């Protein structure tokens, strides 16, 4: 019987890549990188063999989709930020059986979901950035789930999360489940970015206060309250990908019956107008 051994909401800001390189941004995202490394350390200690990433950079307009190839390899340059992420080589094993099982269970629950094993279906950077720091030794097989959901409900994303939990339980896998996306996600306008030192600031004090309130709710185990406010929070604070990654995560953990007191790794931080953090959900 399989289990979700580690669960977390994580950042994937592309400046993490630049933080590694010589130059004015060197070291600027050490806080985020160290959070990723600590989550990976815990996953290895727990015997995790597969990571499922709920990727808010994979946009889908109909149905739910899972990248379920047996192997992922390529050279990635971001279309959004080619100056930040370019020529990023990757090579990971996949867990096709688990991805297809999730799709079957979700579809049987009434939420149409397709799993794909297509060599040319590449990974997005919501998956690739975390894997760079969490899977350097290729200890984990990879499944990537589209979570930039444009015409989907949080309720259907909750069911995707339930399907993930059921598929994992039916498998022999120990899984790390990662909701890869920001908290608030109102990017600075192009005109305002430079004059507000946009790389290191948040675009809205209201969003910052809401993010900090959400972190407090999570750390004190008030998840039922958070879920009541999730739709409006995602709407008014421009939650990345509609925060469908978060809805999936909660679905996998039991939705409003989840009582864990979350752990903030490192610090909450602003990036290009958005709010970011690494948060572990105890399972």
**Interval 132-170: pLDDT, tens:** 999 999 999 999 999 999 999 999 999 999 999 999 999
Residue 49 pLDDT class (50, 70, 90 cuts): very high
- The fold for domain 3-280 equals Protocatechuate 4,5-dioxygenase; Chain B (3.40.830)
Q: Which residues contact 47 (CB under 8 A, 6 or more apart)?
A: 5, 174
Q: What residue spans of the chain are helical by DSSP H?
A: 15-19, 30-45, 96-108, 125-134, 154-170, 190-193, 205-219, 223-236, 244-253
**Interval 81-140: pLDDT, tens:** 898 899 999 999 999 999 999 999 999 999 999 999 999 999 999 999 999 999 999 999
Distance CA 98, CA 95 (A): 6
**Interval 224-278: pLDDT, tens:** 999 999 999 999 999 999 999 999 999 999 999 999 999 999 999 999 999 999 9
Distance CA 7, CA 239 (A): 19
**Interval 243-256: pLDDT, tens:** 999 999 999 999 99
Residue 200 pLDDT class (50, 70, 90 cuts): confident
Q: What is the pLDDT of residue 166?
A: 98
Residue 191 pLDDT class (50, 70, 90 cuts): confident
DSSP, collapsed to helix, strand or coil, labels residue 93 as strand
Q: How many CA atoms lie less than 13 Å away from 221 in the CB half-sphere?
A: 7
Residue 190 pLDDT class (50, 70, 90 cuts): confident
Distance CA 275, CA 207 (A): 8
């Amino acid at each position: 019987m399989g289990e979700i051994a580690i669960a977390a909401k994580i950042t994937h800001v592309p400046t993490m890549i630049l933080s590694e390189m010589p130059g004015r941004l060197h070291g600027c995202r050490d806080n985020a990188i160290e959070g990723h490394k600590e989550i990976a350390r815990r996953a290895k200690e727990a015997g995790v063999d597969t990571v499922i990433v709920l990727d808010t950079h994979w946009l889908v307009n109909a149905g739910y989709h899972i990248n379920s190839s047996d192997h992922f390899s390529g050279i990635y340059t971001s279309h959004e930020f080619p100056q930040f992420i370019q020529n990023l080589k990757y090579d990971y094993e996949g867990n096709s059986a688990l991805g297809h099982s999730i799709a079957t269970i979700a579809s049987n629950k009434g939420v149409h979901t397709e799993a794909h094993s297509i060599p040319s279906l590449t990974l997005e950077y919501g998956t690739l950035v975390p894997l760079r720091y969490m899977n350097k030794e290729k200890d984990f097989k990879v499944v990537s789930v589209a979570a930039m959901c444009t015409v989907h409900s949080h309720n259907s994303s909750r069911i995707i999360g339930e399907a993930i939990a059921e598929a994992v339980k039916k498998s022999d896998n120990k899984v790390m489940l990662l909701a890869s996306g920001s908290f608030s996600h109102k990017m600075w306008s192009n005109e305002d970015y430079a004059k507000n030192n946009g790389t290191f600031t948040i675009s809205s004090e209201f969003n910052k206060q809401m993010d900090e309130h959400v972190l407090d709710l999570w750390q004190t185990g008030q998840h039922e309250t958070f879920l009541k406010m999730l739709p409006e929070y995602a709407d008014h604070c421009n939650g990345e990908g509609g925060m469908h990654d978060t809805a999936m995560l909660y679905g996998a953990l039991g939705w409003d019956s989840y009582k864990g007191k979350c752990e903030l790794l490192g610090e909450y931080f602003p990036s290009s107008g958005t709010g970011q953090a690494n948060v572990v959900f105890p399972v």
